[in-house]
Amino acid sequence: MQVYPLKFEPIFKRRIWGGRKLREVFGKDIPAGEKIGESWELADLPDDKSVIANGELAGRTLASAIEEYPKEITGDENFSGPFPLLIKILDAQDILSVQVHPDRETCRRMGKGEPKTECWYVISAEPGAVIYKGLKKGISKEQFTQAIAKGGAAEMLAKVPVEPGQCHFLPAGTPHSIGPGLLIAEIQTPSDTTYRVFDFNRVDDTGKPRKLHIPEALESIHFDATGDELGVTTVGRLVDCDYFKIDEGHQAEDGELLLLPGIMITLLILSGFGIIEQADGDSVELRAGNTMLVPAAYEGAVRFGSDTQYLIVTI
């Protein structure tokens, strides 16, 4: 089989803080009447595996396709899963819980969980929108523990105003939250381990509060790091860490992005429209909100039908 650019069926996640923006902005077919907070665009977790939506491999999971064509897709004939990225689009219409994700050493020490490093690219932001990113300078473990008990955990975090086009990097061990009115592309390592310390006294559909994980969170937080050490990027190479690299791209109408063989890339289309014409006569359309995996063995080009912004993710 000749490998080709792969698109995927989104995996929608109901969230207490979600809304309907994924349909309004990107036309995603989210369930009627549901608060959808996350669209998992590319995933390979035990209980959530992306299904290919186009071409000869349609209906198969990404994991099974890579198992059959490891070198063609990843560039490594000895590749073993899981796929090293989890890509989401978040619709935060209410504030998220104050939470943290563990690093690899913390997972080993506690004997559970999967490490998670992530970044947030702000797609749209309502006026006054903020995120909470890292501890304020000088906050100790004891102070944070006391603040949790008093319901003031969010006040211990650095409150950061945000604008569209910003990228915020959050290494594992960084306590954080996302404020309301934000549409965000989240690129992260393949983990769903989240430890909540405060959920603003909310209850779920059954009238019960969501579970907190205070001991695990306190064990995971890097109290020697502060939010003022975490910068923001807006152009060019947005993130360059051990787990992934992210570059921001822009093409005007009638522009072209060459897809050269040798390295696997993931494209996230933030706005605009493009199309890939394939040698077999088929085409792959890309619209705002789409995520596409370009196999390492593929060669071609995206031709843009309108002014388009996108992210390129490599590992």
Q: For the chain, which domains are there?
A: 6-240 (2.60.120.10), 245-314 (2.60.120.10)
Strand partners, 44: 49
Beta strands in 93-181 (DSSP E): 98-100, 118-125, 130-135, 157-161, 167-170, 176-178
DSSP one-letter string for 197-259: EE-TT---TTS-PPPP-HHHHHHH--TT--GGG--EE-SSEEEE-SS-EEEEEEE-TT-EEEE
**Distances, alpha carbon 70 to alpha carbons 56, 95, 198, 199, 264, in Å:** 16, 40, 42, 41, 11
Active site residues: 196
Note the pLDDT of residue 117: 98
Q: What is the pLDDT of residues 182-211, one digit of tens each?
A: 999 999 999 999 999 999 999 888 889 999
SS3 category, 192:
coil
pLDDT tens per residue across span 288-299:
999 999 999 999
pLDDT at 13: 98
Alpha-carbon distance of 47 to 21, in angstroms, equals 25
pLDDT tens over the chain, length 315 residues: 889 999 999 999 999 999 999 999 999 999 999 999 999 999 999 999 999 999 999 999 999 999 999 999 999 999 988 999 999 999 999 999 999 999 999 999 999 999 999 999 999 999 999 999 999 999 999 999 999 999 999 999 999 999 999 999 999 999 999 999 999 999 999 999 999 999 999 988 888 999 999 999 999 999 999 998 998 999 999 999 999 999 999 999 999 999 999 999 999 999 999 999 887 778 899 999 999 999 999 999 999 999 999 999 999
